[in-house]
Amino acid sequence: MSDLAAYLKWITATAPLLAWGAFLLIVLSSLSEGLGLALLPSILSVAGLDLQGAGNLEVFAHAMSRALAAVGLKPTLAVLLVIFFLLTSMRTLLRRVQYLGMLALDQSSLLALRNRLYRAVLNANWLFLCRSRSAEFAHALTSEMTRVGQITILSLTLAGEIAVAMIYGLITLVLSPAFAGLVVAAAALLIFLLRGTVTSLHDSGARFSAATQRLHNGMSEVLQHLKTAKTYGAEGQSLQMFVSFNRDVMDAALDMGRRRALASALFEGGSILILCLMIYVLIEMLHAPAAGVLMLLLIFARLIPHLQSGHQHFRELAGMLPSFANVMEQVRRCEAAAEPPGDQDRRLKLQTFISLDAVTFSYGTAGAGAVRDIDLVIGAGKIVALVGPSGAGKSTIIDLIMGLLTPQSGAVSIDGHRLAPADAHAWRKEIGYVAQDAPLLNLTVRDNMLWGRPDATDDEIMAALQRAGAAPFIEALPAGLDSIVGERGILFSQGERQRLALARALLRKPALLILDEATNGLDAETETLVMRQIDGLRATTSVLLVAHRLSTIRWADLVYVIDAGAVAESGRWDDLNRRSRGRFRALCEAQYLVA
């Protein structure tokens, strides 16, 4: 199977020492079990069973006796049983070490795969991420990874069962080549007849993986919008959708279980049929002696559980492999969409201006978020505002300035130097970005602040909080900076979350501060206080404001009105309002800012 081959190639490349160490332990464990079985003819002979006329069985027993004599051991029943006990104990010890090795390989490989996928997601370009579903990545990083971990255990356990079966087969071949040939032929026929069950299980596993992904996607979306669901009284609709997805998972799991049970029953029935045929052929056709038949049946009786276990593991493996294929497909997609790495230590300083020169960009959809022939300039130390209706292209312009998107024509330049994709990472180190939703992690206030600048001191954090108007309510908390903010900052109001996000951006001491609707949750008094603080940053920081509440942009040195993806007009607040039929004046009139 191609998926299994790909998995084995990946795991041996990811953790070669652990993988080959686990394989060596499997071989040693199988050899110890085989040596224990090889002692049985000698034990039967010493116990009084007549092996004369039993062909290779008698020869095998004599050879073992001579081997023991060569090392100074007399082949008595007590000696043979002690050796058998020691070999069995060794096998038990080896299997324990083998299990620990398998566990180490499983966890280390999962660690590497999770890290690789997460790193690939983080390094993917923004346009790719916009077109992808974050819930699919979350599903691959959690549920699918659990199933991939089971693949490691199943494949190594299967390898152990195969190794034991090969040892038993070798012993059988020495004792009775004819019997061994019959067993191999019958087993090959049985595997050939049951090959369809493995393919069926693989397809069933793929359907189960797809069903769990749909459940995860739907569940994530609903849980993120619980407030809306409750406000609309849509709990019933949400539950109905969840029940539908959940039933699909149940149906897929039951289907996979039925196919496993059928494959198990067919294999077990086929094994019993082979055993009956072997007994008949040995006694009625080959006229094998009783001692030989007994020994071969004993071997076969011990072999059958290993074969059944191996087939069971192989069936389960077939159902799990689609999860590995899905994870690797996500890795491949993300790595193919990776941003150019650039120089990780480089910083791109802003000295004079940022410019967009005839910039055009489209997401490929019917004009949504597209901009065309955009020309604008943000001077160093200036406050520039973008205004316009929703969907006009303001957020796209911001993403272009931050280097998250690359123009399809035209250029974004920093101090006259074109911003290349390889420079984007260095440039974003100089940017402080505050979005409308003000994302916060379920950590302490300090941890959330350090997310913006890991080396900041508590004094610097408090200074940033003070500038953002957040210091009073943080100082009022019993734990201060050590207070947990709750999931998505739920313990704070929207305005407080926005002030914390603003403080985090200011903590970076950015050359360019971008406020994307970042003050819409603030009251007028706090907004004025914050904007005065920002106005005082002109010596070191340029500011790009995006706002629907136009009173926010009175502080701006220059206003660009964006409409339908183009610059409709630009100028200072007063100049734009003097245009009686201007687009900006119409927006101000709609908000009763001018008469």
Round to whole Å and give the CA distance between 435 and 514: 8
How far apart are the C-alpha atoms of 112 and 330, rounded to whole Å?
15
**Assessment of whether the complete model's pTM goes beyond 0.85:** no
Torsion of the alpha carbons at 200, 203, 207 and 208, rounded to the nearest 10: 70
State the sign of the Cα–Cα–Cα–Cα dihedral 572, 573, 578, 584. Answer: positive
pLDDT (tens digit, 9 = 90+) per residue, 359-385?
999 887 654 558 889 999 999 889 999
What DSSP letter does each residue of 100-163 carry, written as one string? HHHHHHHHHHHHHHHHHHHHHHHHB-HHHHHHS-HHHHHHHHTHHHHHHHHHHHHHHHHHHHHH
R_g of the chain, CA atoms, integer Å: 36
Other C-beta atoms lying within 10 Å of the C-beta of residue 455: 6
- Comparison of pLDDT for 500 and 185, the residue scoring more: 500
The reported pLDDT for the residue numbered 195 is 65
Amino acid at 332: R
pLDDT of 324 over the 80 cut: yes
- Residue range 90-116, pLDDT digits in tens: 888 888 888 888 888 888 888 889 899
Structure tokens given for 58: 């008698």
Q: In the predicted model, is pLDDT for residue 226 greater than 60? A: no
Say what the pLDDT of residue 413 is. Answer: 92
Would you state the pLDDT for residue 214?
A: 74
Instruction: Specify the DSSP class assigned to residue 71.
Output: T
List the one residue out of 297, 299, 291, 267 whose CA is nearest residue 279: 297
Q: In terms of Cα–Cα distance, which of 511, 516, 508 is closest to 397?
A: 516
Query: Do the Cβ atoms of 489 and 440 come closer than 8 Å?
Result: yes
Residue 46's pLDDT band (cuts 50, 70, 90) = low
Q: What is the mean pLDDT of residues 202-216?
A: 74
The confidence band for 85, taking pLDDT boundaries of 50, 70 and 90, is: confident
Whether the CB-CB separation of 364 and 340 falls below 8 Å is answered with no
List pLDDT tens digits, range 248-285. Answer: 878 887 887 777 777 777 777 777 777 777 777 767 77
Compute the average pLDDT of residues 214-239: 63
pLDDT digits (tens, 9 = 90+) for 378-424: 998 899 999 888 888 888 999 999 888 999 889 999 998 998 888 88
Q: Which domains are present in the chain?
A: 2-336 (1.20.1560.10)
Opening angle at CA 85, ends 84 and 90, nearest 5: 100
Burial-class residue 240 by CB neighbours within 10 Å (0-12, 13-18, 19+).
exposed
